[in-house]
Every structure is written in structure tokens, then in C-alpha cells.
Amino acid sequence: MTLIQNTRPTRSTQATQADRSGRTGPDPSAGRGTLEVLGPMSERFEEILTPAALDFVAGLHDLFQCERHRLLQARTLRRESIAAGAMFDFLPTTAAVREDPEWTVAGGGPGLEDRRVEITGPTDRRMTVNAMNSGARVWLADHEDALSPTWENIIGGQVNLHDAIRRQIDFVSEQGKEYRLGEETPTIVLRPRGWHLDEAHLRYTGPRGRSGRAIAALVDFGLYAVHNARELVERGVGPYFYLPKLESHLEARLWDEVFTHTEQQLELEHGTIRATVLIETLPAAFEMEEILYELRDHCAGLNAGRWDYLFSIIKMFRDRGRRRVLPDRSELTMTVPFMRAYTELLVSTCHRRGAHAIGGMSAFIPDRRDPEVTRQALEMVSDDKRREATDGFDGTWVAHPDLVPAAQAEFDAVLGEAPHQLHQLHQLREDVAVTAADLLDTHVEGGRITEAGVRQNVRVAMRYLDSWLRGQGAAAIDHLMEDAATAEISRSQLWQWINQGMLTERGMPVVAEKVEYLIEQCSEEMSREEGSRAQDAAALLSEAVLGETFPAFLTTAAYELQLR
């Protein structure tokens, strides 16, 4: 049975600006909504949470909250249909978009023409300066998977972005170390939180008096745009965004409507805002061209978000039998066939439509105190980036400043002086012919589930949750940079292995009792550390992997615990 996803008629290329931003609008006679600050006002927060900024973000809620709610419901219905036996395929209703060779996207805006190395990281003040001085061409300023969304981190991050854009970020740490911007700094691209997340410290009250938590994506986007869009344009770049966790072209369409409305309100030329979409869910992999089409006036490219993509596959097929079970995470490399199919389709799709194809993040990180670990990390990263560059990617991600030279060397070797590979005939990848079966064939030849893999999944999930609950959203664990996506792989594999009755390569069953013991063992070890949240982490992980219900996102329950 083929899954037919919820869809609306494809937008006409002749649609007016009013059509694009007005479809989801509220009844004008109902008045306007308001946004109320519930979180504490720390130093300089009043510079971000101004009446004008709150009014602007409330206006975004007035226009777009209903469609956002409908699209989240569509996600649930799609997942239920998969559990019932349906399967993904390229959408028949949008075949005309895929078959039309004429349309292209806006492409990279000023400052986004050359993206050969992008560094990712959260927006605390120290990391902001380090990223801006990293030598990368782009900084992905992350308010999503690499940021624990405490109120201090979210609004403090907006303060830091405001200052970095205006080159007012220099500071001296409590230890006396100076942090100062260099002459050359990367173009900033903000990653707001996904459509599924709420912001508990802001309460939106609609025109008809109904109240609830604010939409995190609109908070992150709106505060950044209203304070910085015009400043960025005056400095020769623009307000640029990475869009995470999309599951359909309709979710991309909603973002396009948000962008168009924002440009009208801030008196920006249409197309000033540019977005790069992370293809990090299995549903989105089947709608790459449609996503580009919906965002075509604002789209710079697509990114291969490898870790969330693996998590999405596990989540979507968690109850579809043993043939859909993946082996240890260490065996899920970018060279396994289904990951090759996904990345090759992304490159060919992007280059066909004039969009940048940006590679993913290798999790290996150096250790300045251990030369051998650093040597191995640089070797692994170089291999990964060499493969991406020769496959046709226009740029890639790293998570540590020390990895920028290694990644750049691989892309320099392929790109030379060219800013990207869009116009190189041998990298249009017309040889690529990826089918739905290729994307869905998750068999890994020789793949194994090992007891070490089970233990490592428990350790990573526990360590990451402990870090996240303490307010740190990116954590170095066993010389790998772990974020929410990699923690999601760990816990979802544990749930699937238990519920599908899997055996390790030595014939030992992966059972709840064994995993529960490992969680308790890890909790006891971590509890000895100062400031540990081990007990809370253990409770969260136990609920996520030992229960009958599979939580859609691990950090949703963690957020509620963080608020207590």
C-alpha cells in the first residue's frame, strides 16, 4: 500500500504576494493577539523583548498558528498510516513540479555564495566568538539541536547574535581570558527550533482570548529578524536561516509565507530572506524538489542532516518488523547504500534547481590534550569531507574550529577558486537515478547489534541528557560531538531493539531488564560527579526506552523537567 500524504494544490508561480502570506490569516474583525513574557528578565533581556518585537512575534502567531497546528496533526496521521502498513513514495500529486525543468531557486544571497566550510554551534558568548574567529565561511548559529533551550540560553543567545552582527561581542571571561573578534568573520545563518516545539516562557493570547505557549520556531525567527534583518542588509549580507525537522513541502510553504509576511512588515525587498533546508527526515527525502519549489524565492539550498535522518528512519519504521532494524550506530556510515542514495539524490536535486548542496557533520572531534585522538579525528574528518567534495557537495559542516582547515583543504582541492560546484557539468549528477526502493532499502550488509553497542547507546543518551538538563546542548562524549540528534538515535535504537526482540551478535537478547540495569549502572557512576542530573536523566531515558509508547522527541519530556 502506498502512502498518500496530506496535500494542497501546488502554488501557482503567478501567485501574488498577498496570496502567499494571506491564506492562513485570521479573521480581521477578531483583533490582534498578544505575547506575554513569563520568564525572568535578566541583564539586557529588555533589549530583545521590546514591545515592538513582542508585537511582531504575536502577529506571526495570529497569521500562522492554525496552519502550523494542522501540519503537526498531518505528521501524526502520516506516522499512523506507516504503522498500519503504508509506505513512502514520491508524491503523484506533485509530479508536475518534479517534471518541469524550467524553474530554479533564488540561490545563495550576498555572503552565501561560497559555503565550503560551515561551523555549527550554540550561541553562548564564548562559542559565538570562537565560531566567528574559526576561519569558516559560514556560522550556523544554533538554537536547535546544539542548544539546550533554557530561557537564559534562548534570549541570551539573541543578545549575543545582536552583538556579534554589530561587532560588539568582545569580552573578558571570569578567568581573565580575552575574547575578541578578528577581522574576517563568517556569514551568520540562524537555525531556529523546529515547528513541533513550544516556548514555555512566552504566552500567546489569541484575538479571541485563547492562551497557550508560544511557538518556539516563530519566537526564534521573529526576534532575530525584527532586531537584525535591516542591520544585516546594511552590512552587505542578509537574514539567513537553516530550517530544521521539516517533514513535507507544505511545512516549507508555511515558512515561505512567514518569510514573505516578514519582508512586507520590515520593508525588505522580496527574496531578501534566504533559507537552507535540512533534509533530515525520511518524509522530506521524498519531497526535496517540492520543498525547493515552495521556497524557491527564498531558498539557498539543502543540507544532508545525517544524524536526524537516521533517527527519522528508526522512528518511522520502529514497529515494522526486524527487517527494518538498523545495526550499531558505529556501522551506520555515509557509505552504506541507503545513505549514499539519500545524499546523491540531494546533490543532483540541488544542482538541477540552482541550489547549494551542503554536507553533514562528522561527529569526530579533536582533543588538544591527546595528539593521537586528534590525529585520528583529522583523518576521519578528511576522509568524510573528501567523499562529500568529490560527490558534488558545495560545502560541509564541522563542529570544532580545529577541524576547519582539514575540511577546507578537501573542498579547496575540488573547488579551487570556484565558489561552488553548481555550474560544473560533471557535478550536475545527471547520472543519479535514485528510486523510492533505494531510499527505503535499509539493509546494512554484515550489520551487527553488539553488547558494546547497547552499552554505548545507554552511555551516550545518559551523558547527553545530563548535559542538556544542565543547560549544555552540545556535549563531547568519548571524542565525539553529541547533540540532540545523536542522542535520539541512541534511545530510539534501544526502544526498537527491545520491542523487536533483537539479539546481539553473540545471541544475547536485548531485553528491558538488561537495558534498565545498564541505565541504573550509568546513573550510579554519573551521580558522583558535581552538579550531576543523573537521576533525572535516568528517569527520562527509562521512560523513553522501556515504556510501550515511543515519545516522538526525547527533548520534549526533558524540557518539561527542565522547567521544574
Q: Which of the residues 79, 191, 193, 318 is marked catalytic? A: 191
The total of other beta-carbon atoms located within 10 Å of residue 386's CB is: 17
- CA torsion angle for 232, 238, 244, 249 (degrees, to 10)? 150
User: Is the separation of the CB atoms in 517 and 538 below 8 Å?
Assistant: no
Helix residue ranges per DSSP H, 143-281? 151-165, 216-234, 249-265
Question: How far apart, in whole angstroms, are the C-alpha atoms of residue 457 and residue 537?
Answer: 14
User: Which cell is 361 given?
Assistant: 557533520
Question: How far apart, in whole angstroms, are the C-alpha atoms of residue 404 and residue 138?
Answer: 11
Bridge partners (DSSP) listed for residue 211: 205
φ, ψ for residue 476 (rounded to 5)?
-85, 115
191 a catalytic residue: yes
The total of other beta-carbon atoms located within 10 Å of residue 97's CB is: 18
70 a catalytic residue: no
**Spatial CB neighbours of 87, under 8 Å, sequence gap ≥ 6:** 1, 2, 3, 440
Question: How far apart, in whole angstroms, are the C-alpha atoms of residue 56 and residue 68?
Answer: 17
Amino acid identity of residue 271, one-letter, is G
Residue 530, judged by CB atoms within 10 A of its CB (0-12, 13-18, 19+), counts as exposed
* Contacts of range 11-16, beta carbons closer than 8 Å, 24 or more positions apart: 11/253, 11/294, 13/103
**Spatial CB neighbours of 188, under 8 Å, sequence gap ≥ 6:** 138, 139, 141, 161, 164, 165, 232, 237, 240
**Spatial CB neighbours of 302, under 8 Å, sequence gap ≥ 6:** 276, 277, 278, 279, 288, 291, 292, 346, 349, 350, 355, 356, 357, 358
Q: Which of the residues 198, 384, 394, 483 is marked catalytic? A: 483
**Spatial CB neighbours of 253, under 8 Å, sequence gap ≥ 6:** 11, 294, 295
Catalytic residues: 191, 483
